[in-house]
Amino acid sequence: MRFPVSRRSLLLFGASGASLSLLSGCGLRLDTGPDVPTLDDTDRLRNKVARILDATTPDGSDTDTAREDLQKLRKAIGPIWSPPSQMATDPPPTEKSRTYIQAAEAVTEEVFSALPSLSPPLIPVLVDAATGLAVTAGAEDSGILRSCESLIRDSRASVGGSPADRASEQSTETAPSAETPQPAGAPGPQVWNAILDRARAASYGYERLTVMFDAKSPQRRRGVARLESLGSLAGEMLEKLGETDADPGAPAWNLDPSPTDPATAEELALNLEDGLAAALLPWLRSDGSAALRLWESARARTVFTIPQVLRYSYPGESGEAEAKK
């Protein structure tokens, strides 16, 4: 069973537990009780994150927006789940009280260390929440940002290294056939080409907007560094596409807005990063390794505006991520 579960599901399951208790009290024999949902590792991780957030109380050491950000994160992650007391074999686990920054340290450690083993459909919400916690708490404690960067890159390296490493290894091997079956739900050429197009557009945009800032400004430095990471992303997409599936057509990108001063340059940077985050979502839905690319986008975004706690929206009760309009 996948989580976050809907409130309706929680109520129905709770009602079944209450019914079991009443019937047992009447002396009726129940050889088999209702099925208790079995949580996989990713479900349990979501539940642990929910408990950490529930036990978090921002204090004076946290950012001014910590309380508001915490409410958004709790809503996105969903409620704590535990079986009805009549069916529980152990007391529900608890989490110690934490400040917002302490919660960011705990959640990012849990999520980013588990990236290689995360399973759909909870990958986006876990990665988005952990990234948002890191960049918002990182405004007060930059050590969190350095720790998360290391965790994300180490997790990615543990499942095959960087794209350059894998390309080197593959150069001595036979290229996979186009008819090689792909895992169910795995992204295909359409997704890779969409990300590639966004990465190329963002590179062009950053080339234009970066020069609007002073040579020693943080925006200029971040813009130059972003050009390097976008080039890496484009290279990774080309590697995934191979020689036959890459779209050779390079569209004429229209920059919105066209950067003419620092203010319009900042607005353009935010638009480019939001467009890239939307393109990354189909990849992130099935593969935790996409977390690095969302992380790079979130870090680039913070130099042009206040940190954004969530890059995606989570309407309704499903917990499914959607690109923000």
Q: What is the pLDDT of residue 251?
A: 66
For residues 272 and 202, the answer to whether their CB atoms sit within 8 Å is yes
Could you state, in order of their start, the residue ranges of all structural domains in the chain? 1-162, 188-285
Q: What is the pLDDT of residue 92?
A: 75
Radius of gyration of the chain (CA): 22
State how far the Cα of 151 lies from the Cα of 113, in Å rounded to an integer: 6
Phi, psi of 78 (to 5 degrees): 100, 175
State how far the Cα of 262 lies from the Cα of 110, in Å rounded to an integer: 38
Q: What is the pLDDT of residue 24?
A: 40
Q: What is the pLDDT of residue 91?
A: 72
pTM for the predicted model, two decimal places: 0.83
The DSSP element (H or E) to which 181 belongs, if any, is none
Low-confidence ranges of the chain (pLDDT < 70): 1-37, 85-89, 160-185, 249-252, 318
Quick one: tokens of 280? 């990354």
Q: Give the CA count within 13 Å in the CB-facing half-sphere of 188.
A: 9
